[in-house]
């Protein structure tokens, strides 16, 4: 089999890239290790920057998002019994859109299926060959049968645990990593959100986040020990802990109910450089991870897709490799800024085990400064709504 772009991974990065390419007549094949139901069962991101919304529009996949997504003009930040609002609209003129990653992925799958684009599921033993030369190909197995896919380019969209990054020889790649000494315990519940806007709360018991998917579906997180046993976190224990960490008015207003999903995510900052090796291009979580505090993971994946899609288009339509040659540099320049913001917000809002009193005072001063300074708020809001591509 032959295609123009072999896309490894059918998560949001791979599917968005495939749809954008399809709209300008560039063929691709998506190879996904899991079933579609498994991919759609993962509850992840909820906050979309304008850049991602525009890419979804360009891919012809934004109709439902435009009907069902929620425009958010600000977020609340709570600490030490104080609370203030970051007013995105006033500070930046921009907003974010609340629409779940699950919904984005559902819409992308529907579009790919409607346009007859190829996706192979339950693909095993993917191996990328010849990426350093002119004739790359991918071998894999489905149901015990061996396959080979020849292509012009390989897009490595297979997430943090995929094979694409590891295909780049160790001597060529440099990995930068910071693992945080805590995780996030998240639950999804069919209850109305406690507030119309997201609440990021820094309390002496640790961080908490109140988020949502729609008027009847809430998403909440509390900072936890990454080694915690999920089984030991009953719904009741979760709600009790959340109430202790959020502002009193929110705790009083909180409507609780059974969780319909519950999971613990570790927190990590990670970047792989370069993001290109010959004809292999890494995109999204395959190349970098941010802790979820800034809501930047999916959004940074989207900016990679933008740079790669633009480069591929330039290559096929204008026979110009400039965009592909600049891909790694352009993508990384934006990635590092998102890494900085996510690291700063994480460091400011969480309790660290064994934290020195001095460091605690620094966090408090950071938040007090943010509360009192419009300039500081504008800088945070500019990052939160998303830096330009
Ligand atoms: P994904 O979503 O991991 O998809 C990769 C796909 O590749 C498949 N795969 C393979 N396929 C073939 N062969 C192999 N060898 C393969 N190995 C893996 C996998 O099955 C999978 O389907 O990466 P992608 O597409 O780059 O998308 C990245 C986003 O999923 C991720 O950055 C975000 O979810 C991060 N994130 C958030 N991002 C935001 O922008 N805003 C948020 O509000 C936000 N909240 C979150 C988050 C991530 C979280 N967790 C659980 C990590 C909240 C949480 C709790
Ligand atoms: C979510 O709704 O899942 C969410 C929102 C904001 C974040 C992280 C996760 O910073």
pLDDT digits (tens, 9 = 90+) for 67-113: 999 999 999 999 998 999 999 999 999 999 999 999 999 999 999 99
The protein residue whose alpha carbon is closest to atom 1 in ligand 2 is 46
- What pLDDT score does 44 carry? 84
- What pLDDT score does 45 carry? 84
Backbone angles phi, psi at 172, to 5 degrees: -95, -30
The protein residue whose alpha carbon is closest to atom 5 in ligand 2 is 46
pLDDT (mean) for 29-39:
95
Question: pLDDT for 166-188, tens place per residue?
Answer: 999 999 999 999 999 999 999 99
Contact 318, 200 (CB under 8 A): no
- What pLDDT score does 81 carry? 87
Atom of ligand 1 nearest to the CA of 160: 3
Please report, for residues 127, 158, 267, the alpha-carbon distance to residue 165 in angstroms, rounded to integers and kept in the order given.
Answer: 11, 9, 20
Question: Distance from the CA of 345 to the center of ligand 2, in angstroms?
Answer: 13
pLDDT (mean) for 38-54:
92
Active site residue 72: yes
| Shortest-distance ligand to the CA of residue 165 | 1
Question: pLDDT for 353-372, tens place per residue?
Answer: 999 999 999 999 999 999 99
CB atoms within 10 A of CB 153: 24
Active site residue 384: yes
Contact 370, 380 (CB under 8 A): yes
| Separation of alpha carbons 154 and 157, rounded Å | 9
Cross-strand bridge partners of residue 87: 74
Q: Is 295 in the pocket of ligand 2 (CB under 6 A)?
A: yes
- What pLDDT score does 43 carry? 80
Active site residue 291: no
Question: Distance from the CA of 357 to the center of ligand 1, in angstroms?
Answer: 36
| Shortest-distance ligand to the CA of residue 49 | 1
Question: Distance from the CA of 49 to the center of ligand 2, in angstroms?
Answer: 12
Please report, for residues 15, 93, 389, the alpha-carbon distance to residue 164 in angstroms, rounded to integers and kept in the order given.
Answer: 16, 38, 24
Atom of ligand 2 nearest to the CA of 294: 10
The protein residue whose alpha carbon is closest to atom 37 in ligand 1 is 45
The protein residue whose alpha carbon is closest to atom 26 in ligand 1 is 284
With a cut of 90, say whether residue 131 has pLDDT above it: yes
| Shortest-distance ligand to the CA of residue 53 | 1
Among residues 292, 309, 316, 327, the one annotated as catalytic is 292
Q: How many helices (H) and strands (E) does the chain have?
A: 14, 20
Among residues 109, 140, 180, 200, the one annotated as catalytic is 200
The percentage of the chain sitting over the pLDDT mark of 90, rounded to a whole number, equals: 97
Share the mean pLDDT of the chain: 97
| Separation of alpha carbons 50 and 70, rounded Å | 12
pLDDT (mean) for 112-117:
92
The protein residue whose alpha carbon is closest to atom 35 in ligand 1 is 297
With a cut of 90, say whether residue 334 has pLDDT above it: yes
Residue 25 backbone zone (phi > 0: left; psi -120 to 50: alpha; other: beta): left
- What pLDDT score does 42 carry? 84
The percentage of the chain sitting over the pLDDT mark of 70, rounded to a whole number, equals: 100
Question: pLDDT for 276-333, tens place per residue?
Answer: 999 999 999 999 999 999 999 999 999 999 999 999 999 999 999 999 999 999 999 9
Atom of ligand 1 nearest to the CA of 34: 20
pTM value is 0.97
User: Which one of 212, 295, 343 would you pick to mutate in the ligand 2 pocket, going by the greatest count of ligand atoms within 8 A of its CB?
Assistant: 295
């Amino acid at each position: 089999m032959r295609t123009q772009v072999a896309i490894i991974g059918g998560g949001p990065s791979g599917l968005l890239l495939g749809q954008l390419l399809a709209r300008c007549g560039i063929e691709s094949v998506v190879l996904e290790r899991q079933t579609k139901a498994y991919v759609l069962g993962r509850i992840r991101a909820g906050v979309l920057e304008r850049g991602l919304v525009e890419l979804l529009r360009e891919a012809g996949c934004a109709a439902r998002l435009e009907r069902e997504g929620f425009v958010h003009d600000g977020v609340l930040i709570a600490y030490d019994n104080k609370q203030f609002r970051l007013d995105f609209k006033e500070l930046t003129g921009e907003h974010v859109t609340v629409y779940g990653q699950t919904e984005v992925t559902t819409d992308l799958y529907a579009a790919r299926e409607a346009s007859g684009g190829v996706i192979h599921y339950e693909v095993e033993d993917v191996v990328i060959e010849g990426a350093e030369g002119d004739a790359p190909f991918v071998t894999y197995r489905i149901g015990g049968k061996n396959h080979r896919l020849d292509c012009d380019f390989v897009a490595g969209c297979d997430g943090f645990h995929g094979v694409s990054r590891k295909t780049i020889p160790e001597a060529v790649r440099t990995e930068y990593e910071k693992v945080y000494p805590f995780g996030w315990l998240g639950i999804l519940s069919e209850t109305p959100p406690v507030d119309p806007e997201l609440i990021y709360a820094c309390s002496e018991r640790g961080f908490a986040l109140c988020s949502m998917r729609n008027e009847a579906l809430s998403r909440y997180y509390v900072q936890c020990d990454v080694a915690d046993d999920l089984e030991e976190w009953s719904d009741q224990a979760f709600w009790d802990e959340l109430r202790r960490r959020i502002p009193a008015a929110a705790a009083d207003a909180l409507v609780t109910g059974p969780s319909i999903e519950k999971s613990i995510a570790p927190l990590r900052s990670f970047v792989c450089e370069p993001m290109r090796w010959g004809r292999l291009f890494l995109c999204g979580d395959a190349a970098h991870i941010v802790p979820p505090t800034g809501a930047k993971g999916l959004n940074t994946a989207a900016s990679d897709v933008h740079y790669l899609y633009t480069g591929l288009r330039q290559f096929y339509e204008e026979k110009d490799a400039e965009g592909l040659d600049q891909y790694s540099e352009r993508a990384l320049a934006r990635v590092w800024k998102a890494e900085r913001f996510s690291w700063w917000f994480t460091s400011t809002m969480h309790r660290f085990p064994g934290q020195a009193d001095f460091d605690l005072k620094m966090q408090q001063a950071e938040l007090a400064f943010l509360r009192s300074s419009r300039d500081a708020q504008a800088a945070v809001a500019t990052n939160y709504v998303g830096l330009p591509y």
